[in-house]
Amino acid sequence: MAKGRTALASGVALAFVVTATAVHGTAGHGRSAGSPTSSLLAAAGGLPSPERPAFVVGTPVRLRKGETPARFAPVMREVEARRRPSRSASRVAELSGETPEGTTNIVLVLAGTTREDGQWVRVRLPVLPNGQTAWVPRRALGGYQFVHTRLVVNRERFTATLFSDGHAVFHAAIGIGRPESPTPSGDFYIRDKLSGFGNLFYGPIAYGTSAKSAVLTDWPGGGFIGVHGTNQPDLIPGRISHGCIRMRNDDILRLSHLMPVGTPLTIE
């Protein structure tokens, strides 16, 4: 029996040596000239470099608890906004690709749907009467952008508060419209941001909004309501303007670092 075990062990050892030798020999000659592997490597070396992708999809990020993002998009071409998501629906307004100030026109996007004739989105309109929404083809808009801020104006307390994901990050006293030219109430959005005025009346920064005055429709640009600084800070707080929301210059400068274009605006 012991002799049998010795013979078996010798056989296994011999087989291992033969196998190892065979493997070593194969590895040594696997990329020899004329082999299929060498031909493939030579052919690959002559291929052009891969094209650089137009964009790289970022790593998905889970929303933090309490986040309240809003989305907006630029108007890429003149388009008719309609009462329903259909080409046959009644026309509500016409949106252009540029604001009266010469900046890119944007719309706040509220919802979306897909129909037989394509994708449609419901947007908030910068037209009178204030507060209207309508539907436009998705392809008329550019890419979505997101903000986490919301500006709330309280006309009774003469205050403006900026929230970021529900947390107050800015608070300031304001001036609002006089009784004969009141600041309108409702839900709007910040449409553009301007600076470099030659007139100190507007202060260093002015935000354009989608809100419009119902009584100053003959004003240049149609009487849009702005949020801007002032050269008369002693009048704040109070009912001092033609409808615009005024802040002391230090406050509007502070706000300019916190509030991006596209921010939803609620005037209470």
> Tens digit of pLDDT for each residue in 81-131?
999 999 999 999 999 999 998 999 999 999 999 998 899 999 999 999 999
Which tokens go with 10?
Answer: 């010798």
Selecting among 167, 228, 242, 257, the annotated active-site residue is 228
Alpha-helical (H) ranges within the chain are 2-29, 36-45, 249-256
CB atoms within 10 A of CB 36: 9
> Residue 217 has what pLDDT?
74
> Residue 16 has what pLDDT?
38
CA atoms within 13 A on the CB side of 81: 21
Distance CA 201, CA 127 (A): 25
140 vs 31, more confident: 140
All structural domains of the chain with their residue ranges: 70-146, 148-267
Q: What is the share, in percent, of the chain residues with pLDDT greater than 90? A: 67
Active site residue 171: no
pLDDT tens for residues 183-241? 999 999 999 999 988 788 889 999 999 999 998 877 767 799 999 999 999 999 999 99
> Residue 24 has what pLDDT?
41
pLDDT tens for residues 125-150? 999 999 999 999 999 999 999 999 99
- The continuous run of DSSP H or E covering 220 comes out as none
In one-letter notation, the amino acid at residue 103 is T
Mean pLDDT rounded to a whole number for the chain: 85
DSSP string, 19-85: HHHHHHHHHHHTT-TTSHHHHHHHHHHTSPPPPPPS--PPPP-PPPTT---EEEEEB-S-EEEESSS
Residue 63 scores a pLDDT above 90: no
Distance CA 195, CA 227 (A): 12
From the options 1.10.10.10, 3.40.718.10, 2.40.440.10, 2.102.10.10, give the CATH code of 148-267. 2.40.440.10
Distance CA 134, CA 152 (A): 23
> Residue 200 has what pLDDT?
87
Give the residue from 94, 93, 242 showing the smallest Cα distance to 175.
242
Provide the 8-state DSSP code for 125. -
Active site residue 242: no
> Residue 29 has what pLDDT?
46
Give the residue from 211, 166, 160, 161 showing the smallest Cα distance to 185.
211
Selecting among 29, 148, 167, 244, the annotated active-site residue is 244
Q: How many residues comprise the chain? A: 268
CATH topology for 70-146 is: SH3 type barrels. (2.30.30)
Return the top range by mean pLDDT from 42-51, 69-78, 193-202: 69-78
Q: Which of the four pLDDT bands, split at 50, 70 and 90, describes residue 1?
A: very low
- CA 268 vs. chain centroid, Å, equals 25
Distance CA 143, CA 128 (A): 26
